[in-house]
Amino acid sequence: MDYQALVDDVRSDVHAYRGSGKVASYIPALAQSDPHDFGIAIALADGTTYISGDGDTPFSIQSISYVFSLGLALHHVKSALWNHVGREPAGSPVNSIIQLEIEKGKPRNPLTSSGALVVCDQLIGKRGIEETCEELLAFLRERGDAADIAIDERIAMSESRAGAFNRSLAHFIAAFGNLRNAPEDVLSVYYRQCSIAMTCRQLARAALFLAFDGTDPAKGDVVCTPSRARRINALMLTSGHYDNSGDFAFRVGLPGKSSVSGGILAIVPRTGVVCVWSPGLNEAGTSLVGAVALERLVERTGWSIFV
């Protein structure tokens, strides 16, 4: 397959949609994004990557980070994680706290905001905030093949200032005794993790182990067991796009994770990883143009896990 042609063609496919959707406005730093931006990257088994458009433009990865912090938390605390967070789809909007009350402070899954806070808390464990952030950065630099991946501190500050909802989530979870660390410490790691800046190319490269049963196929490193990689993919499929996960599975048919900054990571088992980015969001908070791009890509390639 001519992968460069593929990513260029998909970029052409979505040309008419550019500028659609609504840029996230809850934090000032994101509100300035341009909905006309569009990038796509594919990473393949041998580590080669192909990009089109703004595939080398860094953006704050926001909740795409949840996938990687989940991987690290499972490494550290293993299945004990599931005492603190479930693995069922949320079935409710991204900004809802209702379910968390009904289920007594145990988030539905690690790919929601509340679940990611619990994952952060477990990840911190008995370490400090800095050490926890450093481990995640080191992991992303190693897997993403890019030594300069860093936190965008301006975004992190903006998130922390504007983050009343996430702050209420953290204190609410703490009220049920489901945080080991002080809520402000957990939030500090959380906001910094969300503010890591990466490009489509780096993200696709970094997630490659998930498409190959836990092993980075280019470097040969065993990142996690096959079973854990499959399970992370399963969670992405059922819960990777807030309250749009069912629709994404229906239309695209690949495990994926959306971010409020407009990125979408999509795993193609045994083939590679695709990452798209375009800041305009649909009503459920997934990149509107990004989702269309992945739909077209799957039509062109037949890369659905459902056949």
Residue 304 interacting with a copy of itself (CB under 8 A) = yes
Looking at 109, 114, 160, 282, which residue binds a copy of itself (CB under 8 A)?
A: 109
Show the binding pattern over residues 157-176: x = contacts a copy of itself (CB under 8 A), - = does not: -------xx-xxxxxx-xx-
Residue 59-88 contact track with a copy of itself, rule CB under 8 A, x = bound: ---------------------------xxx
Question: Contact region for a copy of itself (CB under 8 A) — 64-72, 122-130, 192-200, 228-236?
Answer: 228-236
Tell me which stretch binds a copy of itself (CB under 8 A): 27-35, 200-208, 216-224, 239-247.
Answer: 239-247
307 is in an annotated binding site: no
Query: What DSSP letter does each residue of the chain carry, written as one string?
Result: --HHHHHHHHHHHTGGGTT-SEE--SSHHHHT--TT--EEEEEETTS-EEEEESTT--EE-GGGHHHHHHHHHHHHHGGGGGGTS--S---S-TT--HHHHHTTT--S-TTSHHHHHHHHHHHHTTS-HHHHHHHHHHHHHHHHT-TT-EE-HHHHHHHHHH-HHHHHHHHHHHHTT--SS-HHHHHHHHHHHHTEEE-HHHHHHHTHHHHTTTB-TTT--B-S-HHHHHHHHHHHHHHTTGGGHHHHHHHT-S-EEE-TTSEEEEEETTTEEEEEE-SEE-TTSSBHHHHHHHHHHHHHH---TT-
By CB under 8 A, residue 301 contacts a copy of itself: no
- Site residues (CB under 8 A) for a copy of itself? 86-92, 95-99, 101-102, 108-109, 164-165, 167-172, 174-175, 183, 213, 226, 229-231, 233-235, 237-239, 243-247, 249-250, 253, 255, 269-270, 304-307
